[in-house]
Structure 1
Amino acid sequence: MNADSPMLVGIDFSPSSRNALLTALRLAKAKQRKVTALHVMDPDLAGAIKTAHGFTDAALHASMLERLRAFLDAPADLTKDLTFEFETGADFVTLIHWCNKLKAGLLVLGSRGRISAHNQIGAIAARCARQAPADVLLVREDTKHAFRHIVACVDFSETSAKAVRHAAEVAEIEGSHLDCLTVNQTALAMSLDYAGYLPALEVPDTTSTEYWGGELEKFRTPLIPAAVAPRAKGVVLERVNVRDAIYEYIGTSGADLVVLGTRGRTNLRTIFMGTTAERIITNSPCSVLAVKPEGYEFQVH
């Protein structure tokens, strides 16, 4: 979420994509960032519409831009830095192309497409969260207000430091409470996770919740601006299953946004790497900001 980089919002005319655009405009206004709202249409559908209505390419383009403006129906003060775009093509490929074209720092999507299961994000949103060359904010359909309670997941990696900084930026804009959450998997818990086959760990006694609480304070304190610090705290949970611990905390805390890095540690003490991060992103009961590693790039051909 580079403060100087533009935002790209994917629009599919679902209620969650409208909330995604309103959320992007709200966040962008605070930093005076440019926002581009893009609708991508399947070429076969575009051809059928042109045939049915006698549209030229230009007429279809103009018609879709008008529909996008009507779909948003937002106050003028929110839309002064907003540009609407329409393109035919494959959804994912076109979104990636526009991310690279705009050098977007943030891609904002509705968390649920036109066809999605309860608490499960759409297929395009899931793929973008994994691969888009920008941080990805997935906004739920029931997000009707500013984010009030943010949870930033910490595994002490560089990417989770970036996640905490971005969570703090949103908290500063929105006036949110911010909880920096880490999950302590003790040696016993890890042994249970690996069916008892984990080798003995010859390390100092660093498995206590108190120890990790101190490490979390040292990690998070320099990342959080003074304006947010009074509303921020560190939380250490001791659990066997990291994913379940995060779900549980989201539920008990009433969080409406979870922020996590898409790449974390790669040793046996992995917290937010691989399937854990993927499942949190895919099935989170609240909006998600997926933060990419510094320098991450992705091209489609």
Structure 2
Amino acid sequence: MINDLLVARDFSTSSDRALHAAFAWARPIGSTVHLLAIQVTNDNPFEPAEQRSGPLERLREQLKDRTHSDMAQSGYDPGSVSVKHDVQRGEAAGPAIVRYAERAEIDLIMMGTTGRRGVRRAMLGSVAEEVVRTAPCPVCTVRATDEGKPPTVPERVVIPVDFSAPSRPALAYGLHLAQQVNADATIVHAIEEPSAPLIYGIEVGEKTKSSGSEALKDRVHRALNEWVEQATADLGNPPSCDVQVHTSAPAAAIREVASSPSDVVVMATEGRTGMERMVLGSVAESVLRQAVGPVITARSFAEVL
């Protein structure tokens, strides 16, 4: 499922964490890691073009040297992972990363996010957000933290299901990933009281306060188990699955379940709210900006299964 994994490198702390995560994931999966550096040509429009651009081959060699140094410092054997290096020029980093992913038929883009607090737009980073919105494949964002420990292979894959059409292929993708990395899977749904009559089969006129009842939780729990059974029907050795039903807001429930840096969240960027927030739904946006561990999102997982 993840044969080619792309890491966009700008040698920041967040980029380094994405690199470490890529190597950790690539070894058990057997993926080839593509390391891409983008030479942005319009950083300073007042400089002559020849001063803003150097030979790409020299930059590629510098990227290789830096990668080997980073791997050695982190204890990785450079020969244990298949690595390709490339350098591209572009007027902006985001579109250049997306073009490379399309051309190289990348299966997963792994990017670091800024992890800064206080400034809402800076918590994800403009380049990462642009790639998440426009990439042709799933994108895994890895937050920069003060923790010195590098990211590891996921121990648990958390898969939110809101019973929308996009969440079904996201569930299948997450279960396949859990199988590949030998991780457990947790499927989580948050009951939203105002939405209960529309989603859970409650007749109009029933008291919406029943959305928190044990009967409704049982009904949702059974529905989730049916989805899991259908998604694992073709898996020879399906992962261990835990199904949870919460009564809090969706983003809060997801963050509560995925509370460890070794938890990875897999979710579609579009849910029941459709195109309300352009391509990036409000729940996905909140999880991307605040999740502790990696988050894998895609506009449609159905296109990559």
Distance in 1 of aligned mates of 2:220 and 2:280: 19
Quote how far apart the aligned CAs of 1:226 are.
5.5
Who is 1:84 aligned against? 85
Distance in 2 of aligned mates of 1:204 and 1:217: 26
Which one of the candidate residues 209, 218, 221 is aligned to 1:210? 218
Q: 1:84/1:273 Cα in 2 relative to 1: closer, same or farther (>3 Å)? A: closer
CA contact 2:157–2:266 (8 Å) conserved in 1: yes
1:1-301 correspondence to structure 2 within 5 Å: 2-3=1-2, 5-44=3-42, 51=51, 56-73=55-72, 74-79=76-81, 81-89=82-90, 90-112=92-114, 116-117=116-117, 120-141=123-144, 142=147, 143-187=150-194, 201=204, 207=211, 208-224=216-232, 225=235, 227-229=237-239, 231-239=240-248, 241-251=249-259, 256-266=263-273, 274-294=281-301
Quote how far apart the aligned CAs of 1:105 are.
1.6
CA contact 2:113–2:142 (8 Å) conserved in 1: yes
Please list the CA deviations of residues 48-80 of structure 1 after superposition, one character each: whole Å capped at 9, or x if unmatched.
99759x96454344334433443343313333x
Quote how far apart the aligned CAs of 1:8 are.
1.3
Quote how far apart the aligned CAs of 1:223 are.
1.9
Report the secondary structure of 1:172's partner residue.
helix
The range that moved more, 37-46 or 123-132, is 37-46
Q: 1:88/1:65 Cα in 2 relative to 1: closer, same or farther (>3 Å)? A: farther
Q: 1:67/1:75 Cα in 2 relative to 1: closer, same or farther (>3 Å)? A: same
Report the secondary structure of 2:166's partner residue.
helix
Distance in 2 of aligned mates of 1:31 and 1:250: 22
Query: % of aligned pairs identical?
Result: 20
Quote how far apart the aligned CAs of 1:135 are.
0.2
Q: 5+ unaligned residues in a row in structure 2: which ranges?
A: none
CA RMSD of aligned residues (A): 3.6
CA contact 1:65–1:86 (8 Å) conserved in 2: no
Quote how far apart the aligned CAs of 1:290 are.
0.6
Please list the CA deviations of residues 173-200 of structure 1 after superposition, one character each: whole Å capped at 9, or x if unmatched.
3332211001111348899xxxxxxxx8
Please list the CA deviations of residues 97-153 of structure 1 after superposition, one character each: whole Å capped at 9, or x if unmatched.
10111111211111337xx33793222112212221110011234553221222111
Who is 1:195 aligned against? none
- Compute the TM-score of the two structures, normalised by the length of structure 1: 0.77
CA contact 1:262–1:273 (8 Å) conserved in 2: yes
CA contact 2:152–2:262 (8 Å) conserved in 1: no
Report the secondary structure of 2:62's partner residue.
helix
Distance in 2 of aligned mates of 1:182 and 1:68: 40
Distance in 1 of aligned mates of 2:157 and 2:191: 20
Q: 5+ unaligned residues in a row in structure 1: which ranges?
A: 192-199
Distance in 2 of aligned mates of 1:188 and 1:99: 38
CA contact 1:27–1:173 (8 Å) conserved in 2: no
Quote how far apart the aligned CAs of 1:283 are.
2.4
Q: What code does the residue aligned with 1:42 have?
A: V
Q: 1:245/1:35 Cα in 2 relative to 1: closer, same or farther (>3 Å)? A: same
Distance in 1 of aligned mates of 2:295 and 2:246: 20
Give the length in aligned residue pairs.
276
Quote how far apart the aligned CAs of 1:28 are.
3.0
Distance in 1 of aligned mates of 2:59 and 2:87: 9
Q: 1:87/1:170 Cα in 2 relative to 1: closer, same or farther (>3 Å)? A: same
- Compute the TM-score of the two structures, normalised by the length of structure 2: 0.76
Distance in 2 of aligned mates of 1:260 and 1:188: 20
Distance in 2 of aligned mates of 1:291 and 1:64: 28
Report the secondary structure of 2:258's partner residue.
helix
Distance in 2 of aligned mates of 1:57 and 1:213: 55
Distance in 2 of aligned mates of 1:144 and 1:188: 37
